[in-house]
Amino acid sequence: MIGDSTVAVRLLIAAGLGAAVGIERELREQWAGLRTHILVCVGACLFTLMSAIGFSAFIGGTQKAAANADVTRIASQVVVGIGFIGGGTILRQGANVRGLTTAATLWVTAAIGLAVAAGSYVAAIVATAVAVFTLSGLKPLERWIGRKAKRAAASSESEDA
């Protein structure tokens, strides 16, 4: 059985990791920023903790009752709920689609919260680092690729003329 102090530590770790992703989104002035990512990560963590330990008093302490409890049910519903929230962040503006990265960050932040709740701290920390690097560290590469693509298109157009 996980104690109250372990639950509190896991929720605080989830808040910190959600904040790490949220800060990057906040710096880029995205709709889902610091507070949203913290809440998603903590919420996913809490749902998972409650799924795993919160209902033990209702199912009994026996091995058989524990084996019959599906601890993945609530965690899978977190994924469905985040899909709904993420879908709400995606907007179509003419030929452009906006909000896909925000939806993806909410999705990965929920997964980080699930990992923390499961005690997979290394996985959660690595996922956070990868997410933050992807959001901020790859931006210069993305811009460079965009400039190269524009130059290639411009030279292709001038050759066709």
Lowest mean pLDDT among 6-20, 29-43, 61-75, 123-137: 61-75
E strands in 9-133: 91-93, 96-98
pLDDT at 67 over 60: no
pLDDT at 27 over 80: yes
d(CA 9, CA 156): 57
**pLDDT band, very low/low/confident/very high, at 110 (cuts 50, 70, 90):** very high
Local structure of 45: helix, strand or coil: helix
Domain extent, residue 66, equals 4-160
Mean pLDDT computed over every residue of the chain: 86
Under 8 Å between Cβ of 30 and 102:
yes
How many domains in the chain? 1
Under 8 Å between Cβ of 82 and 108:
no
Under 8 Å between Cβ of 60 and 126:
no
Token pair, residue 93, equals 């503006």
Mean pLDDT of the region 148-160: 80
Residue-wise pLDDT for 113-132, tens only, equals 999 999 999 999 999 999 99
Please tell me the predicted confidence (pLDDT) of residue 62.
55
Please tell me the predicted confidence (pLDDT) of residue 128.
97
